[in-house]
Amino acid sequence: MPAQFLLNIFIAVLWMLLKDEDAPYFSTFMTGFIVGIGILYLMHRFFGTQFYLKRLFALIKLLFLFIWELLLSSELVLKQICSPKLKIKPGIFTYKTALNGDLEITTLSILLTLTPGSVVMEISPEGDLFYIHAMDLEKSKADVLRSIGNFEKAIMEVTR
């Protein structure tokens, strides 16, 4: 991925030099960068890796997914807090993940901890089992499991 980006920068600089203008302009550089994106997209299968902008779009998708899950879980927590009588049953459950590698596991645990209503308490030494505390085990466990599945898919798109 970094090699493709650096090659794209090289194509943009080469475009600026071949344009032969009086001064280097940012618009010329950006035109060369866009042309480089097109060239790299047409040739990305020869690099043996996926196109580098695909990961960027997957990262943006993960960011929007996190914001959406944050809004949904915040609404749920606000409803529970603002109710006249708290009828919650907090609890701990385990979740076996399909992710591997420190980056993927850490990203998932951070995203879950930042989402209101759930906290990752511990991760097994093997890194495949999460111990998660949910604010309301009966109501929010299904929501937490749904968001974990969504996060896992998005993290795999970014890292693999």
pLDDT values of the chain reduced to their tens digit, one per residue, 160 residues: 688 999 999 999 999 999 988 888 999 999 999 999 999 999 988 888 888 899 889 999 999 999 999 998 889 888 888 988 888 889 999 999 999 999 999 999 999 999 888 899 999 999 899 999 998 888 778 888 899 999 999 999 998 8
- What's the pTM? 0.81
Q: What is the pLDDT of residue 140?
A: 78
* The token pair that represents 99 in the structure block: 């992710």
**Burial annotation 121-130 (CB, 10 A radius, 16+ → b, else e):** eebeeebeeb
Q: How many CB atoms lie within 10 A of CB 111?
A: 23
The pLDDT of residue 122 is 94
Nearest to 96 by CA among 130, 119, 124: 130
User: 140: buried, middle or exposed (CB in 10 Å: 19+, 13-18, 0-12)?
Assistant: buried
Distance CA 63, CA 71 (A): 12
Burial class (CB in 10 A: 0-12, 13-18, 19+), 118: buried
Ramachandran angles phi, psi of 127, nearest 5°: 85, 10
